[in-house]
Amino acid sequence: LPVLRGPGSQESRGDNRRAEFEALAHKYSRDIYNGALRMTRSRDDAEDLAQDTFVKAYASFHQFRRGTNFKAWLFRILTNTYINAYRRRQRGPEFVALDDLTADQVAKTRSGEGASQAEPEEAALARLPDEEVEAALEELPEAFRLVVILADMQELGYRDVAQALDIPIGTVRSRLFRGRRLLRRRLREYAAARGLI
Amino acid sequence: MEAISALADDELGAEAEAVRAHLESCVACRAEYGSLVAVRDLLRRPSLSKSVPEGFWAAVERGLDAHDRAGEGVIGRLRSALAQTPRAWPMRFARNVALAGAAVGALLAVLWFLPTHQEQVASSTTALKAIALDFEGHMGREAAEPFPYHTPAEARNAFLATVGYPVSMATAPAQSVSFVGGRVLRGPRLNGIELTYALGPHRVSLYQVPDGGSIPVGMADQAYGSRRYYFDTLGACNIVAWQENDVLYALASNLDHLTLLQLARQVQVAPPVGA
């Protein structure tokens, strides 16, 4: 039978662990909150999700390998928490068959696009207000949206995105490409509606 | 086309040179590249990054506090229970059940006995004991089945198949704690799996039960045979405790291997009684 004794030093060790965690985690609170905001598309849910993420990260901080990318580790927890707990109550666009989207997209983007139009188009997109960029992002089907949030907004590398979403790197690459094209299509529509293009 | 997008992220690897060379000579692809970069950079516009709401980090701190309290809570409560007179502690324990509801997170809990009430404690008995078998003897032995699995992975899979409740166990081999074996228990009160670990020279047995299952959340304290059992829940952990002579025993369900490892680092392993 095991005989275990409570240590007198447990408290101070706990404090060190917590201090180390807080020192690392605090500087990512904005990133995590913004990631959660783009995932949930709701300020209230984002706050809860981001706070849950930090508490979960703290609870499993012993699993974090020192010297590896802490931000990527936090985003992995954020993504898992979102997928497991928050996505179920989400409204809004759901998954769309990937083939349909891409076939449609490739056809549209290949026509009528030339070098001469590229410069003004980029300038036009840059003049879109935040609200329309956010709206275009929110309309993105989730498979693409998650990859775009992690890679484009949070600037995680493909490998970290792949781990966070538990998908192969090749899938990250193709979803990101398709996601960007879907976004571009929507942004062009907004720009055209404003007479920018 | 997809390669162009990856090139913009510097994620292309060996192909990068060839694609760059192609961009030099292909106007359409160069336009595509510029346009994808423009979309990406639009998403990095600083004004899209919102400030965290006021009080955000304070709320995180409260969550961490709750987690810290919960980690010590079981231990602390059992300690304070034992600090009472032997007849008083069960009431104290029961009263504190309500506090447990506030606990957050994955929890530590184990079989603790703390010698705060010296006259009640045999001189060499200074710690808690894991006596899962004793508990099982009262609550589920009649239906215990032999356990045919010998690795954590097998146990986990069997557990999932049996009760559908995920058990997370360390995938990396534990240094100080190793999995010994386990068995499936099917009893009127305890329906789950018992896992046994070697912890130094000792053995620790833990119950993993279905979520809210065999030791139901909020289950009232009950007497079985000559003993009275006290039930409690802390987060995902279900706990049952009882007193035998001058020793307090507690068992926790849903303890995983990693949590046990974490615990093992926090407790001092003393030689077994009589060793």
Terminus-to-terminus CA distance in chain A, angstroms? Answer: 77
Q: In this predicted structure, what is the pLDDT of residue B155? A: 45
Looking at the partner chain, which of B36, B202, B266 has a beta carbon nearest the beta carbon of A1? B202
Which residue in chain B is spatially nearest to A10 when comparing CA positions?
B266
What secondary structure does DSSP assign to A136-161, as a single string?
HHHTS-HHHHHHHIIIIIS---HHHH
Q: Could you tell me how many helices (H) and strands (E) chain B has, helices first? A: 8, 9
Q: A17 near B71, Cβ under 8 Å?
A: no
Q: Give me the residues of A, 101-120, that contact B with CB < 8 A.
A: 106, 109, 113-115, 117-119
pLDDT band for position A190 (cuts 50, 70, 90):
very high
Q: Is the pLDDT of residue B243 over 50?
A: no
CA distance B197 to chain A (A): 10
Tell me the average pLDDT across A55-74.
Answer: 86
* Distance between CA atoms of residues A55 and A35, nearest Å: 16
Q: Is the pLDDT of residue B46 over 80?
A: yes
Q: B183 near B146, Cβ under 8 Å?
A: yes
* Distance between CA atoms of residues B275 and B273, nearest Å: 6
Q: Which residues of B touch A62 (CB under 8 A)?
A: 258, 261-262
- Between B46 and A10, residue with greater pLDDT: B46
Tell me the average pLDDT across B182-206.
Answer: 49
Q: Which two tokens stand for residue A173?
A: 């690459």
Q: Is the pLDDT of residue A164 over 60?
A: yes
Q: In this predicted structure, what is the pLDDT of residue B67? A: 72
The residue type at B247:
V
Q: What is the dihedral of CA B102, B106, B111, B117, to 10 degrees?
A: -40
Q: B202 near B129, Cβ under 8 Å?
A: no
Tell me the average pLDDT across A167-172.
Answer: 92
Q: In this predicted structure, what is the pLDDT of residue A188? A: 93
- Between B48 and B168, residue with greater pLDDT: B48
B195 forms bridges with which residues in the sheet? B182, B206
- Between B102 and B213, residue with greater pLDDT: B213
B253 forms bridges with which residues in the sheet? B207
Q: Give me the residues of B, 134-193, that contact A with CB < 8 A.
A: none
Closest CA to B186 of B256, B151, B223, B139: B139
pLDDT band for position A94 (cuts 50, 70, 90):
very low
Tell me the average pLDDT across A160-177.
Answer: 92
Which residue in chain B is spatially nearest to A31 when comparing CA positions?
B49
Does the beta carbon of A184 lie under 8 angstroms from any beta carbon of chain B?
yes
Tell me the average pLDDT across B109-115.
Answer: 27
B240 forms bridges with which residues in the sheet? B231, B251
- Between B127 and B97, residue with greater pLDDT: B97
Does the beta carbon of A136 lie under 8 angstroms from any beta carbon of chain B?
no
Does the beta carbon of B83 lie under 8 angstroms from any beta carbon of chain A?
no
Does the beta carbon of A185 lie under 8 angstroms from any beta carbon of chain B?
no
Q: What sign does the CA torsion over B104, B108, B110, B116 have?
A: negative
Q: Is the pLDDT of residue A17 over 50?
A: yes
pLDDT band for position B138 (cuts 50, 70, 90):
very low
Mean pLDDT of all residues belonging to chain B:
51
Which residue in chain B is spatially nearest to A126 when comparing CA positions?
B42
What secondary structure does DSSP assign to B203-220, as a single string?
EEEEEE--TTSSS-TTPP
Please give the model's pTM, rounded to 2 decimal places: 0.54
Does the beta carbon of A195 lie under 8 angstroms from any beta carbon of chain B?
no
* Distance between CA atoms of residues B76 and B82, nearest Å: 10
Tell me the average pLDDT across A98-122.
Answer: 45
pLDDT over 70 percentage in chain A: 75
**CB–CB contact B48 A187 (8 Å):** no
Least confident of B84-98, B102-116, B193-207: B102-116
pLDDT band for position A84 (cuts 50, 70, 90):
low
ipTM of the complex: 0.79
Least confident of A118-122, B122-126, B200-204: B122-126
Q: In this predicted structure, what is the pLDDT of residue B196? A: 53
Which residue in chain B is spatially nearest to A33 when comparing CA positions?
B52
* Distance between CA atoms of residues B242 and A49, nearest Å: 38
Closest CA to A143 of A172, A185, A181: A172
* Distance between CA atoms of residues A145 and A38, nearest Å: 8
Tell me the average pLDDT across B32-49.
Answer: 93
Q: In this predicted structure, what is the pLDDT of residue B94? A: 32
- Between A17 and B243, residue with greater pLDDT: A17
CA distance B156 to chain A (A): 19
Tell me the average pLDDT across A72-79.
Answer: 92
Q: Are strands B268-269 and A3-5 parallel, antiparallel or unpaired?
A: antiparallel
Closest CA to B168 of B254, B39, B227, B233: B254
Q: In this predicted structure, what is the pLDDT of residue B192? A: 52
Q: In this predicted structure, what is the pLDDT of residue A72? A: 93
The residue type at B153:
A
* Distance between CA atoms of residues B75 and A142, nearest Å: 43
**CB–CB contact B267 A4 (8 Å):** yes
* Distance between CA atoms of residues A9 and B72, nearest Å: 13
Q: Are strands A3-5 and B128-129 parallel, antiparallel or unpaired?
A: antiparallel
Q: Which residues of B touch A174 (CB under 8 A)?
A: 2
Does the beta carbon of A56 lie under 8 angstroms from any beta carbon of chain B?
yes
Q: pLDDT by residue (tens digit) across B161-188?
A: 333 223 332 222 333 445 555 555 554 4
**CB–CB contact A122 B34 (8 Å):** yes
**CB–CB contact B39 A184 (8 Å):** yes
Tell me the average pLDDT across A22-44.
Answer: 94
Q: Is the pLDDT of residue B195 over 50?
A: yes
Q: Give me the residues of A, 162-181, that contact B with CB < 8 A.
A: 173-174, 176-177, 180-181
Distances (CA, A) of A170 to A167, B100, B234: 8, 46, 42
CA distance B75 to chain A (A): 8
Q: In this predicted structure, what is the pLDDT of residue B141? A: 29
CA distance A10 to chain B (A): 6
Q: In this predicted structure, what is the pLDDT of residue A82? A: 85
pLDDT band for position B194 (cuts 50, 70, 90):
low
Q: What is the DSSP-derived secondary structure letter of residue A46?
A: H
